[in-house]
C-alpha cells in the first residue's frame, strides 16, 4: 500500500513494532512515538530481547574436565 496512490518510489506505511499503529513519526521511526521507542529500549536493557550467540569461554572452563 502506497501513500497518496503514488508510485513505488513513495515510502510505505510502517507499523509501529510496539503498539502496531499504522503511523510512524519520522523523528522516532520505526516507532510511532517517543513512548514506544522508550518501551523498546527498556525491553533491551532488561534483557527481554536476547540475541543468541556462542557460549562464553568462562562457561566452557567450568564444564571442562580437570
- Determine the pLDDT at residue 9: 45
Residue 33's Cβ-count burial label (10 Å; 0-12, 13-18, 19+) is middle
Number of Cβ atoms within 10 Å of the Cβ of 38: 13
- Residue-level pLDDT, tens digit, the chain, 66 residues: 445 554 444 456 778 999 998 877 788 889 999 999 999 999 999 989 888 888 777 655 555 555
Name which of 3, 27, 26 is nearest 13 in CA terms: 3
**Cα distance between residue 23 and residue 16, in whole Å:** 7
Per-residue confidence (pLDDT) for residue 50, from 0 to 100: 83
The structure's pTM equals 0.57
Strand partners, 12: 2
Amino acid at each position: 500500500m502506497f501513500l497518496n496512490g503514488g508510485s513505488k518510489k513513495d515510502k510505505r506505511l510502517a507499523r509501529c513494532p510496539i503498539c502496531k499503529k499504522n503511523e510512524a513519526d519520522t523523528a522516532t521511526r520505526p516507532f510511532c512515538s517517543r513512548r514506544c521507542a522508550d518501551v523498546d529500549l527498556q525491553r533491551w536493557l532488561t534483557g527481554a530481547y536476547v540475541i543468541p550467540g556462542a557460549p562464553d569461554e568462562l562457561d566452557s572452563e567450568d564444564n571442562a574436565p580437570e
